[in-house]
A and B are shown apart, each in its own frame.
Chain A
Amino acid sequence: MAFYVSRLSLGLELRRLGCKTMRCSGVDCRSSSSTSTTLAPRSLADDGKTDKLGRREKKNLMMSESVDKPDLNLRFKYPEMFPEPFMIWRNPVKEKLERKDMLARRNCISIPEFYVGSVLRVNLSNIHQPDKVSSFVGICIERKETGLRASITLRNVIDNLGVEIKLELYDPRLLKIEVLRLERRLDPHLRYLRDAPPEYSTFPLDMKPDINRSDEVPLNRIKVKLNPRPWTENWHKIEYKGIDESIDDLITNKWKARRELLRKPWEKYDLMKTYRATLPEEEMEEILTEIKDDVEEHDRKHSRRQS
């Protein structure tokens, strides 16, 4: 246990989530070539003011300066509340009804804040168990879909066998979700752990929750060293920040040459593509205003219940 703890704690850095790293990114901030994900740009203009998080005050006075604007950082806490931006399938009434159902479920069960890379324990109602309850501990390697279809994949290695469980967050058979370790990783998913040594995915089933004293969500900058090929997916094709550089030793020169051809350096300049892949800020604010009071109430209720 000490082995993997020391590995995973390498490069732990306290980093404020959201605004500081993701600001000024109408551009694809996940592109490998951008180096500005570390610090927000400090404004040097006289008219723009910066707050302590490095955010520039909006010069864009078009947007109504309402008194109670929701904090946009909440969007990382409740990512499934935002609809898929495929506009052909969107309908405002449907989205509203779905959010109501999601808030109703959140009233019954606490769906805590967690990210890809956090370690969770879930208790499920399982009809096939003798005591009708099953429990699983694992690292969240994926967060998929939006709305009531929101699902997560938890991975653990039990008896030398990698086990992954895909759960729906709003499934009424989920009895409890507990975050044992709250942290973030460098990539949007961690499916490459399937081709990594088991140390990266092993967590004891009786793990105690880590006490995180800071307000910020820590970013784990660990670089995973993959096993030799064959792999389940072609990890070399996309530049994963969480995979060590030693991946180059595991692939042939032909693959390296092919990888160069697959690079799309023009994609980060495709402004309309990035626009179609995301929701505009005004829309995010509208949604957050709608859910803000309810989720705050739920947080208070569930934290009171826990304490």
Chain B
Amino acid sequence: MRLNKPTPLRPLIHYAELSKLVSRLKIPVHWHVKKLRRGDVPGPEGRLLKLRASVTALFKYERIEMDYYPADEARGYAERLISEAVRNGPQCPETMEMADWWLEEKQLVHKLFKVLVPRYQNYPTSYTNFYRAPFWYFSDGFQPQLNEEYPDKEINETIPAFRTVSYPKGLLELKGNPYPPIFPSKVTNPRSIQNVLLSSAKDFYKSKEGGSERLSNAESGRGIEFVPNEPKSDENLIESSK
């Protein structure tokens, strides 16, 4: 039993805002809203400003690597923005105002309506991908160009270890981006061990002796002895590898 977090509070308004029409998002939407720390502006406003920077960067570079939880939050906003744009188009003044606020660089507003909306017009899935990225190691070195706080420091300058924190990282990308894919395309290899074993099991059960064994097991009420991780016999392996 873990000491779980307390359940989030029910909102004060106990009904749905029916006047708003929104499209369903195809990403998991968490109820916990992450508080993000920001130096200059505190509170919910600062949180939105920080997310705005992330969303702008995502639209600009189409693949960004940042801290995991802020990236998770930013993903929702990026998806919502694209969903609004696809639904309403640039003619709607509210959507245009939204895009104008969320995208700090104005060329990205053009990109949203002219490039991304036609790209995502008929997408049945989510518009973004979100992966866990490797943690930052101390041995990765100090990279001041990614960190605005230390403009005078040199690359790989030694920094005291106690001031470093290692947060989980996330990788957020727009689907259909021009870069090479993060994971190689899934090619199912029929010669890999799990496929070899499964296909031989299938052949065994389809054959007469296998079928009779299954029948007797089913009648006695006993479930099938299905053990996909154990090798059946050497003969089958040899036969299938030929």
Contact = CB atoms under 8 A, between A and B. Distances in A.
Q: Do A and B bind?
A: yes
B24 A283 contact: yes
Given A26-B20, A76-B18, A86-B10, A271 B98 contact: yes
Interface in A30-52: 30, 34, 36, 41-45, 48
Contact of B81 (A87, A271, A276, A281): A271
A145 B87 contact: no
Contacts of B101: 269
A266 B89 contact: no
Interface residues of A, number: 59
Interface stretch (B121-129, B185-193, B202-210, B230-238): B121-129
Interface string A7-24: 000000000000000111
A87 B102 contact: no
A282 B23 CA distance: 7
Contact of B121 (A45, A60, A72, A270): A60
Interface in B26-76: 29, 31, 33, 44-45, 48, 73, 76
Contacts of A27: 20, 94-95, 97-98
Contact of A26 (B31, B44, B95): B95
Interface in A74-103: 75-76, 79-80, 82-89
Given A25-B19, A26-B84, A82-B16, A269 B98 contact: yes
A176 interface: no
Contacts of A28: 17, 20
User: Chain A interface secondary structure, helix, strand, loop or mixed?
Assistant: loop
B94 to A, nearest CB: 4
Contacts of B159: none
A274 B84 CA distance: 12
A280 interface: yes
A281 B25 CA distance: 11
A36 B7 CA distance: 38
B87 A272 contact: no
> Among the interface residues B16, B45, B80, which one has the most CB atoms of the partner chain A within 10 A?
B16
B21 to A, nearest CB: 5
A275 interface: yes
B212 interface: no
Nearest to A44: B91
30 contacts: A25-B20, A26-B20, A26-B23, A26-B80, A27-B20, A27-B95, A27-B97, A36-B93, A43-B91, A45-B89, A56-B89, A59-B89, A60-B23, A75-B18, A79-B16, A82-B15, A87-B31, A88-B31, A89-B10, A264-B45, A272-B33, A273-B33, A275-B29, A276-B11, A277-B17, A277-B20, A278-B20, A280-B22, A281-B22, A281-B24
The list of the 9 closest CB pairs from A to B, nearest first, reads A280-B24, A271-B80, A24-B92, A27-B94, A278-B17, A22-B19, A26-B84, A266-B45, A272-B76
Interface of A: 22-30, 34, 36, 41-45, 48, 56, 58-62, 72, 75-76, 79-80, 82-89, 143-146, 264, 266-267, 269-284
